[in-house]
């Protein structure tokens, strides 16, 4: 039998759509492009690999996810940078 924590993690991942597809939108704030790989993949459909733990990034109230592009590039995206296929933000 799965522990309560494992079950909660499973249902949380289901709710968040882990391993689903989303459109990655990297914002352009009019600043020099310090992250060309992110700019290159902006607008593409990416795979949501997993939710990052808050210890893996500077958590400021918004979740962050590991994403993977079709060409194999792997990056991180804030929740606000992802548009899910059905248009429902999680």
Residue 1 has pLDDT above 60, yes or no: no
Mean local confidence (pLDDT), 23-34: 80
Q: Which pLDDT score is estimated for 9?
A: 62
Q: Which pLDDT score is estimated for 10?
A: 54
Query: Tokens for 6?
Result: 């494992």
DSSP-assigned beta bridge partners for residue 46:
22
Q: Which pLDDT score is estimated for 16?
A: 56
Domain parsing of the chain, residue ranges: 4-84
Give the model confidence (pLDDT) of 53-82 as tens digits.
999 999 989 999 999 999 999 999 999 999
Q: Which pLDDT score is estimated for 88?
A: 41
Q: Does domain 4-84 have CATH number 2.30.30?
A: yes
- The model carries a pTM of 0.69
Question: How far apart (Å, rounded) are the C-alpha atoms in residues 26 and 37?
Answer: 10
């Amino acid at each position: 039998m799965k522990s309560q924590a494992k079950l909660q993690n499973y249902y949380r991942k289901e709710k968040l759509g882990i391993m689903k597809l989303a459109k990655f939108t990297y914002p352009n704030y009019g600043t020099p492009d310090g992250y060309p790989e992110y700019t290159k993949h902006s607008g593409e459909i990416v795979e949501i690999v997993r939710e990052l733990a808050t210890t893996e990034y500077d958590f400021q109230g918004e979740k962050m996810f590991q994403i993977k592009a079709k060409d194999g590039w792997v990056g991180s995206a804030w929740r606000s940078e992802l548009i899910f296929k059905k248009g429902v933000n999680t």
